């Protein structure tokens, strides 16, 4: 039975993979967080791979505090770059297929059409720079690696925009949200399913080596953070009034890309994946959050 190591198992994506794991009985999972496997320790990573020899490694671990990364540069680099290099090196040594999750923050946001995988990267922030370096290390040190870039991730688990908006909307009559950053939300449960379906696809292929490289994945559609917040308010029945503001009115330590809508043609065609409209996925997540709160 193929074994799958999932790092960052307590994050949004890792948690969603744990929920879905029972639906993939032909795969054996090892869910590891920072307390059970410190991926910033090269020798610990090498020893774990040597002992367990996983067939796949899905790296969901990351330093994601985008604004803090501007001052906590070393921490961000250790998790988003160095650790990726250690995992990639161990994967190459053990013949493990490495699947690394990256971000839209590797782009500068100057595009005006959905971004393809081969468009030049130019990160605007320390976070984006560390994620770019992680991509390079994955693809260089573990030939055949897959890098899956995603954007605006949210879930019923962890901290994210949807849960922050719900909390603020419960406390405030009005809320200002930027309307000049365009992108696409991604429900972590949809991304988790896509990744596991890709693993099954690779298992069915005789020549899986040809599937390495960079892929883009998000839900379907192109909206601003303001549009997203408005939808959260409407779908959750909040009476909070959401008002649009320019990014200049809400300065942050890290600069965000103004446009990061992905072209998902490659990943959908290659692995026969179905896209999900962001509105449908948001509705599903809000119901999930409601159910969790009711428990």
User: pLDDT tens digit string along 252-286?
Assistant: 999 999 999 999 999 999 999 999 999 999 999 99
CA-based nearest residue to 147, from 200, 63, 205, 217: 217
Divide the 295 residues of the chain into consecutive groups of 10 and give the mean pLDDT of each group.
96 97 97 95 97 97 96 97 98 97 97 96 97 98 96 96 96 96 98 97 81 97 97 96 94 94 97 96 95 79
User: Is the dihedral angle over the CA atoms 30, 102, 67, 229 positive or is it negative?
Assistant: negative
Tokens of 190: 């949809």
pTM, 2 dp: 0.96
pLDDT of residue 208: 65
Inter-axis angle of helices 278-294 and 225-236, to 10 degrees?
A: 50
C-alpha to C-alpha distance for 234 and 224, rounded to whole angstroms: 15
User: pLDDT tens digit string along 116-135?
Assistant: 999 999 999 999 999 999 99
> For residue 138, what are the CA distances in angstroms to 16, 93, 99, 100, 183?
23, 13, 9, 7, 25
What residues are paired with 196 via a beta bridge? none
In which residue are the tokens 């922050």 written?
Answer: 164
Tell me which of 127, 154, 187, 259 is the catalytic residue. 127
35 in helix, strand or coil? Answer: coil
Residue 259 is among the residues annotated as catalytic for this protein: no
In 28-160, alpha helices (H)? 42-52, 73-77, 83-94, 126-141
Q: Spelled out in words, what is the top-level CATH class assigned to the domain 3-160+185-221+260-277?
A: alpha beta
pLDDT of residue 293: 78
pLDDT of residue 161: 97
pLDDT of residue 294: 77
> For residue 286, what are the CA distances in angstroms to 78, 157, 194, 210, 290?
34, 11, 20, 38, 6
pLDDT of residue 250: 86
C-alpha to C-alpha distance for 113 and 127, rounded to whole angstroms: 23
């Amino acid at each position: 039975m193929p074994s799958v190591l999932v790092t960052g198992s307590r994050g949004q994506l890792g948690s969603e993979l744990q929920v879905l794991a029972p639906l993939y009985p032909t795969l054996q999972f090892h869910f590891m967080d920072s307390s059970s496997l410190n991926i910033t320790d090269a020798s610990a990573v090498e020893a774990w791979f040597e002992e367990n020899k996983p067939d796949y490694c899905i790296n969901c671990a990351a330093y994601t505090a985008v604004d803090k990364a501007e001052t906590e540069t070393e921490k961000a680099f250790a998790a988003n770059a160095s650790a990726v290099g250690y995992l990639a090196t161990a994967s190459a040594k053990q013949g493990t297929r490495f699947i690394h999750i990256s971000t839209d923050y590797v782009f500068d946001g100057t595009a005006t059409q959905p971004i393809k995988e081969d468009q030049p990267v130019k990160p605007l922030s320390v976070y984006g720079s560390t994620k770019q370096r992680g991509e390079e290390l994955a693809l260089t040190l573990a030939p055949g690696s897959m890098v899956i870039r995603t954007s605006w991730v949210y879930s019923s688990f962890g901290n994210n925009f949807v849960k922050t908006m719900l909390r603020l909307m419960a406390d405030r009559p009005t809320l200002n949200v930027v309307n000049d950053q365009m992108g696409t939300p991604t429900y972590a449960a949809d991304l988790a399913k896509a990744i596991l379906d890709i693993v099954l696809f690779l298992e069915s292929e005789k020549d899986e080596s040809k599937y390495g490289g960079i892929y883009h994945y998000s839900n379907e559609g192109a909206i601003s953070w303001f549009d997203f917040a408005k939808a959260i308010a409407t779908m959750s029945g909040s009476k909070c009034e959401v008002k649009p503001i320019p990014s200049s009115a809400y300065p942050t330590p890290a600069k965000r890309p103004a446009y990061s809508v992905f072209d998902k043609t490659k990943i959908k065609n290659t692995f026969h994946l179905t896209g999900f409209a962001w509105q449908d996925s948001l509705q599903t997540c809000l119901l999930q959050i409601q159910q969790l709160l009711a428990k």
